[in-house]
Amino acid sequence: MIGLLPLAGGGWAAESEEGGKAIKALSEHAASMDMVWTLVASFLIFLMQAGFTLVEVGFTRAKNAGNVVMKNMIDFALGSIGYFLVGYGLMFGASAAGLFGTSDFFLSHITSGGKVDNWKFANLMFQVVFAATAATIVSGAMTERAKFIGYLFYSLLISTLIYPVVGHWIWGGGWLARRGMIDFSGSTVVHSVGGWVSLAGVLVLGPRLGRYNRDGSVNLIPGHNIPLAALGVFILWFGWFGFNSGNTLSATNPSIALIAVNTILAGASGALCAMAVTWALRGKPDVSLTLNGILSGLVSCTGGVAVVSPFSAAA
């Protein structure tokens, strides 16, 4: 019996080694799934660029449709380069007093050490489409107001400086994060930043040409293609599942299901509320305002979408 003990010990060691290999394989598989999920969510968020473009084209006059398309293409292209090179470092680099990042510029966090970390590439992809969303939100406010060259400077500024700095405060371990602020998918980081920059742009540029008569009376400027705008809203709604659920950064996080349910209920509730209000005030539902109601509902739930109940998301 004593002579068999070394053999038994060797068997236990072999089983332990095999168990360790199995655990390592499962861990690597889970990490690969998380990376794929993050990339798929990034692709859905990228699709939102098409949604924003269709909404803006549909809600503007036909003569400005080409300008809208050009602006949306270039703000993504220019903003992506700026965020890749500088913005990511300002947002997620080593914090300077909780105000902005001071490292990881020019992809140095990925290429340092001679070994490429593919997960960091996936995270960078996810973050750059978020930055592009913040930039494109402002495009709607600037439509039919801004000159193209001025819009180019704005696109680079928000993606490289404004959005990353505010993002650092909340998502990069900055001063707001240290005080307990939670913004799961960007109600503040993305949509509020886009809203405030839009307000600044409108105040500087003033109303669209033809909006007011000399006597101060207002001219309605209806969109030239409401079905196109509706298609854009549905594309945005679809992309919002990636926008919200993707922030788990994990394919195995059970809260994905709750996030998806809250996302669809928030949009549906926004549509019904906008329809009811316009119906009561104008005697009939308004298509364009109902479409905007969907977007308002989606934005309103984004910050706490992972922690609120479905009833709260719809409220």
Quick one: pLDDT band at residue 217, thresholds 50, 70, 90? Answer: confident
Kindly provide the residue ranges of all beta strands, DSSP E only, lying in the chain, ordered along the sequence: 95-96, 100-101
Tokens of 213: 């008569």
pLDDT in tens, 251-283: 889 899 999 999 999 999 999 999 999 999 999
Domain residue limits, the chain:
35-314
- Evaluate the CA torsion angle 171, 156, 192, 295 in order and state its sign: negative
Residue 53 has what pLDDT?
95
pLDDT higher than threshold 70 for residue 18: no
Exposed / middle / buried, residue 16 (Cβ in 10 Å: 0-12, 13-18, 19+): exposed
Q: Percentage of residues in the chain with pLDDT exceeding 90?
A: 67
Residue 209 has what pLDDT?
80
Lowest average pLDDT, out of 98-107, 140-149, 192-201, 236-245, goes to 140-149
pLDDT in tens, 161-170: 999 999 999 9
pTM assigned to the model: 0.87
Q: Shortest CA distance to 95 belongs to which of 9, 180, 165?
A: 165
Beta-bridge partners for 100: 96
Dist CA 152 CA 27 (whole Å):
44
- Superfamily (CATH) of domain 35-314: Ammonium transporter AmtB like domains (1.10.3430.10)
pLDDT in tens, 25-41: 767 777 889 999 999 99
Q: What is the mean pLDDT of residues 104-133?
A: 84
Residue 292 has what pLDDT?
95
- For the chain, the average pLDDT equals 88
Q: What is the mean pLDDT of residues 152-175?
A: 94
Residue 43 has what pLDDT?
96
Q: What is the mean pLDDT of residues 285-296?
A: 95
Residue 158 has what pLDDT?
94
Half-sphere exposure for 49 (CA within 13 Å, toward CB): 22
Residue 16 has what pLDDT?
62
Q: What is the mean pLDDT of residues 101-108?
A: 88
Quick one: pLDDT band at residue 70, thresholds 50, 70, 90? Answer: very high
Residue 143 has what pLDDT?
85
Residue 142 has what pLDDT?
87
